[in-house]
Amino acid sequence: MKKKKYLTRRDFLQGAATVAAGAAVFGLQGCADTDQQLANLATPAQQPLAGQPLVGIARHDSTEQAVRQAIALTSGLGFISPGDTVLLKPNVNSGDPYPYSTNPQVVAAVTKLAFEHGAAHVFVADTSNPMYLPTVDAMDRAGIYQAAIESGAEVMDLGVQGYTLINPKSAVNWPGGFRVPTLLNDVDHMINLPTCKDHLQANYTMSLKNWMGVIPEAERMYIHINGFGTHIPELHLGVYPSLTILDATRADLTGGAMPGITPNPVSASPGLIVATTDPVACDVTGLAILKYHLKERNLTNKRIDNYTVWSQPQIVHASKIGIGIRNNTEYSVSSQNVPEIEDLMNYINV
């Protein structure tokens, strides 16, 4: 596969004004349609071998060791071949520090592991909420930029090189398709690095919703108008992660995904890392973590408490269209230093 020259932070900052001006007049109808699926990024990754758990959960005083252990408990990073290009997709919305953005230590640990497994290039990329800060500035504010650069990765905005319109057959709630970064045609693998938090409109935001950072602003607005539960999961029909690593080192229990949206937001410090190839398995695990810590603090959050982990609209639709497991009988987990695992499983085995 031919590798392109990617943008450094200096390149990005020099070109940002031009790109922003172009994006303002570049609507959904202005992109050439294509039936091309994004090669190995459009289909589910290889599932764990027989007898291997779908989900790994680990806790360690060292975030890097927790990441290593969680990945080792499940399918690992064997999908990376020498010379591959790996793109890490953190959660960078407003640039507020974790749990509102992905923990920089998680980003650094996964970058290091990708290089250890033979990756030639590692990119840390997202597109932040344009209402707040440009992407690279948001990453800088959240500490992700420095962590990525010091670990040998390059940082960029996913949309800098433009978008390609795709139209997955089962994306019935996206008539005409949706756009994804053209950059992804030159990436061998994407690793999703969501956070663990609730959300005012989508109820929660983890693996599935982190894919909103892949699409441009017009499609994000389309989701806000037409519904999160049905539209977010279908994005995975176009771009599917090789691995998802949920950053639950801290968790937002009542803050609505950003500080200042709700009064007196409450966070917890689960200290957990969750690794899996299955986005649904990731999210039901994260929802169990939120439920556990809400109960521990005797708090109520109707966005989380009024649903089982399996009845959340995102989960229901994701399972229906086949991008993840369908119920608790397909769920399996291995944990290390997680004494509350049985309590978490009580929320999953409903």
- List, for residues 240-276, the tens digit of each pLDDT value: 999 999 999 999 999 876 776 777 889 999 999 999 9
Mean pLDDT of all residues in 187-199: 96
Mean pLDDT of all residues in 151-163: 93
More confident residue, 27 or 135: 135
Please report, for the chain, the start and end positions of each structural domain, with discontinuous segments joined by +. Answer: 27-36+52-348
Q: Is the pLDDT of residue 35 over 70?
A: no
Tell me, what's the pLDDT at 323? 94
Tell me, what's the pLDDT at 187? 94
Tell me, what's the pLDDT at 21? 30
- List, for residues 68-100, the tens digit of each pLDDT value: 999 999 989 999 999 999 999 999 988 888 888
Confidence of residue 41 (pLDDT cuts 50, 70, 90): low
CA distances from 247 to 48, 250, 350 (A): 21, 7, 24
Confidence of residue 309 (pLDDT cuts 50, 70, 90): very high
- List, for residues 271-304, the tens digit of each pLDDT value: 999 999 999 999 999 999 999 999 999 999 999 9
Confidence of residue 46 (pLDDT cuts 50, 70, 90): low
What's the whole-model pTM score?
0.88
Confidence of residue 171 (pLDDT cuts 50, 70, 90): very high
DSSP line for 75-133: TTTTT--TT-EEEEEE--SS-PPTTSS--HHHHHHHHHHHHHTT-SEEEEEE---TTT-
Q: Is the pLDDT of residue 18 over 90?
A: no
Tell me, what's the pLDDT at 215? 95
Mean pLDDT of all residues in 309-326: 97
